[in-house]
Structure 1
Amino acid sequence: MELRINRSGLVVPTRTDPRGVTGPSPRQARGASWTRVGRGLYRPAGVADTVAQRIVDAVAAMPEGSAATGWAALHWLGARWSDGMAADSSPRPVPVAVGDRHARRRRPGVVVSEDWLLPGDVMLVDGLPVTIPVRSVTYEARVADGETSALVAIEMAMYDDLVSLAELRAYTARLVSRPGKRRLEAALDAAEENVWSPMETVMRRAWQEHRNRQLRCNQPVFDLAGNHLVTPDLLDVEAGVAGEYDGSVHDSGRRRSRDLAREELMRRLGIEVVIMVAGRGEQPRLHHRISGAYERAGRTTGPRLWTIEQPRWWVDTSTVSRRRDLDPILREHWLGHRRTGRIGRETA
């Protein structure tokens, strides 16, 4: 299909031209200076093979009316966690929606979605047709390899405020007899709007499989004078048990020191802390640590030194609608931690 991409650094593949004017000649196309990206489609070999370029290549090779969908559409819209990489760090195939017609132009690196497109499902962004966020997220959840993966897709799109739970549920109700709809609905029932990373979702699922507790995601904790103390990844408010995921980014000196200070602060407040790390065989060890934390929390006596009641000066950003309502200045102040790792007035 014909594309007019207006993002810098990206090149729209061209068809061969016998004269070599509008595209490479057949002879030139066979040389090392051109890369074949589809039947009769080529781009200069020196163009960087970025995720965005792979998406452009994939859509260009599809019939008119097609659109990037799933993680590819979300990546094009700026979704932080839709990086196009699989768990083993290999590139994920680019999903392209072609509607309810059979696509003949299949090629490696592309997954063709032949589910029908509802009216209004496709929009043009910087010259590339992409499916709207609710369609992209529900597709990604339906084709996920399990409920946890579906839940990650949903919650990470909500992290970027591209969709809300209400919007996803309304769109899902319009899907009739779609493969994976039950998985999508189950994930929506478990989804939270205030999750900040995929591993927080994984940790919450593992925790609740072991102990079916109500866990709050990124719940700010205050002292009794209304000062913000800490915001753990997960918090069982009733039991006074918190969960924190420590990935490789937490290994550096200053970050690790700050994490240890957070853990020490929570323990001084009487909140037991459970740490999850990456690696094989972590889940049974996590379950063991969770059990120990609840046992210790059960022996805690005395009045609580902390509360989740928000003081007047605090701005609640726990839902998509609240985050969308922030003006640019408030958004930078209250959500800038998504870039820096520091939260507002956190003292830990």
Structure 2
Amino acid sequence: MTSDGYADVVMPVRVDPAGVAGPTPGQARGRRWRRVGKGLYVPADVDPAPTRQRIAEAVRGTGGAATGWAALHWLGATWFNGVRGDGLTPQAVPIALDDRRQARARPGVALSEDWLFDDDVIVVGGLRVTIPERAVTYEVRRAWHLAGAVRTIDMAAFDDLVDIEGLTAYTERLVARGGVRLLRQALTRADENVWSPPEVDMRIEWEHTGRAGSLLCNVPLFDLSGRHLLTPDLFDPVHAVAGEYNGAVHDGVAPRRRDLDREELYRRHGIESLWMMSADNRDTTRFVRRLHAAYDRADGRPGAPTWTLTQPDWWVDTSTVAARRALTPDQRARWLRRQNPKPLTCGS
């Protein structure tokens, strides 16, 4: 009923007259088994709330495959937890059925009859799921806005499940599909080195102001002797302006002290810094005001820079999916620990 690596999931089973592979007909009618679909059961004490369990119960027996956020979550994506942007409302589990309907609509499930390519479906942990490229493009094509579409791509790339080149190639196969225009637009704005969903929103808002000469995500800054200084969430090297997202995780004395130390270090090296607060997601007016003020101050800074983007020989670049995929396990443990995911959501 479980597969290696998915021991926390109890797969639904069919009735078995012998009572070996599943409940007998009599047992299935009793209190010790819970019906989750047509002819499918799990033990009644299995909690249906965990996201992977919810996905398995929704998909099993449909003849389809989990896609969208559900496939990405099943494949280990950090930021796709099946909850909407409010952090509370569960998202319906999207199931790709191809163009042959084998399941009926029911609460908590979103059925898609959009036809699949022959290589779109794989089996992982005993469950049929679509490949990451299909899952991401499905999710992006149904996004409510550009920021949500870009966020999906960036956060799937965070776990190296997709890269922009591969997604672009896959998109070329999606002829006359709904939402492809948004998908293509999002691909031009996506980045493979974003570490959290709020960074995407900050980047897009920043770009909309028209002030950025060039905006880099999580690029390391070094002093002129090659010592690592800082890795800002966003950095405009043309104007020497750095941006940091300051969410709830920054509350408290110790995090605030670290933020102040970072701000002092920026000043010492002639870099203007600004912070986007979690409340700015609801109303960006103050963030935009702080952004313009930072650029105004940066324009008046004299002197040669005491920082550089040139990476010293000892540094290992992890800014692309290809670079991260090439890391050894030991290198991943060392060089990716600074990404430090937070328990947020990628809901659009």
Q: Please, what TM-score do these two structures have when normalized by structure 1?
A: 0.91
| Residues 33-42 or 148-157, more deviating | 33-42
Structure 1 CA distance, aligned partners of 2:211 and 2:82? 32
Note the C-alpha offset of 1:323.
1.0
Name 2:286's counterpart in structure 1: 285
Q: Which digits, 9 at most, give the CA deviation of each residue in 1:156-188, with x for residues without a partner?
A: 111111111100000000111111111110000
Structure 1 CA distance, aligned partners of 2:301 and 2:181? 42
Percent of aligned positions with the same letter in both sequences?
A: 51
Matched-pair contact (CA < 8 Å) for 1:270–1:300? yes
Structure 1 CA distance, aligned partners of 2:143 and 2:233? 24
Structure 2 CA distance, aligned partners of 1:212 and 1:265? 23
Name 1:170's counterpart in structure 2: 169
Change (3 A) 1:36 1:112: same
Matched-pair contact (CA < 8 Å) for 1:103–1:112? no
Q: Aligned partner of 2:192: which letter?
A: E
Name 2:84's counterpart in structure 1: 86
Matched-pair contact (CA < 8 Å) for 1:122–1:129? yes
Structure 1 CA distance, aligned partners of 2:104 and 2:32? 24
Q: State the secondary structure of the residue aligned to 2:298.
A: helix
Change (3 A) 1:9 1:340: closer
Name 2:346's counterpart in structure 1: none
Name 1:74's counterpart in structure 2: 72
Name 1:345's counterpart in structure 2: none
Q: Is residue 2:129 matched to residue 1:127?
A: no
Note the C-alpha offset of 1:129.
1.2
Note the C-alpha offset of 1:205.
0.5
Note the C-alpha offset of 1:20.
6.7
Structure 1 CA distance, aligned partners of 2:292 and 2:277? 16
- Alignment length, in residue pairs? 337
Structure 1 CA distance, aligned partners of 2:146 and 2:301? 35
Structure 2 CA distance, aligned partners of 1:252 and 1:27? 57
Q: Aligned partner of 2:299: which letter?
A: G
Taking the TM superposition and a 5 Å limit, the aligned residue runs for 1:223-234 are: 223-234=223-234
Q: Which digits, 9 at most, give the CA deviation of each residue in 1:293-316, with x for residues without a partner?
A: 011111111121111111121111
Q: Is residue 2:148 matched to residue 1:146?
A: no
Change (3 A) 1:274 1:30: farther
Name 1:112's counterpart in structure 2: 111
Change (3 A) 1:22 1:335: closer
| Residues 179-188 or 22-31, more deviating | 22-31
| Residues 317-326 or 36-45, more deviating | 36-45
Name 1:239's counterpart in structure 2: 239
Change (3 A) 1:186 1:212: farther
Which gives a bigger RCO, structure 1 or 2 (Cα 8 Å, sep 6+)? 2
Q: Aligned partner of 1:249: which letter?
A: V
Name 1:53's counterpart in structure 2: 53
Note the C-alpha offset of 1:61.
3.8
Q: Which digits, 9 at most, give the CA deviation of each residue in 1:115-154, with x for residues without a partner?
A: 1111211111121111111111111111111111111110
Q: Is residue 2:310 matched to residue 1:312?
A: no
Q: Aligned partner of 1:236: which letter?
A: D
- In structure 2, the gaps of 5 or more residues are 343-348
Change (3 A) 1:98 1:312: same
Q: Which digits, 9 at most, give the CA deviation of each residue in 1:221-274, with x for residues without a partner?
A: 111111000000000111111110011111133233222211221122111111
Q: Aligned partner of 2:94: which letter?
A: P
Matched-pair contact (CA < 8 Å) for 2:240–2:271? yes
Note the C-alpha offset of 1:33.
3.8
Matched-pair contact (CA < 8 Å) for 1:4–1:128? no
Q: State the secondary structure of the residue aligned to 1:74.
A: helix
Name 1:344's counterpart in structure 2: none
Q: Which digits, 9 at most, give the CA deviation of each residue in 1:174-221, with x for residues without a partner?
A: 111111111110000111111111000000011111225221000111
| Residues 54-63 or 150-159, more deviating | 54-63
Structure 1 CA distance, aligned partners of 2:275 and 2:40? 50
Q: State the secondary structure of the residue aligned to 1:282.
A: coil
Note the C-alpha offset of 1:335.
0.9
Matched-pair contact (CA < 8 Å) for 2:195–2:341? no
| Residues 322-331 or 12-21, more deviating | 12-21
Measured on the aligned residues, the alpha-carbon RMSD in Å equals 2.1
Structure 2 CA distance, aligned partners of 1:13 and 1:340? 31
Matched-pair contact (CA < 8 Å) for 2:16–2:25? yes
Structure 2 CA distance, aligned partners of 1:157 and 1:254? 31
Taking the TM superposition and a 5 Å limit, the aligned residue runs for 1:25-40 are: 29=28, 32-40=31-39
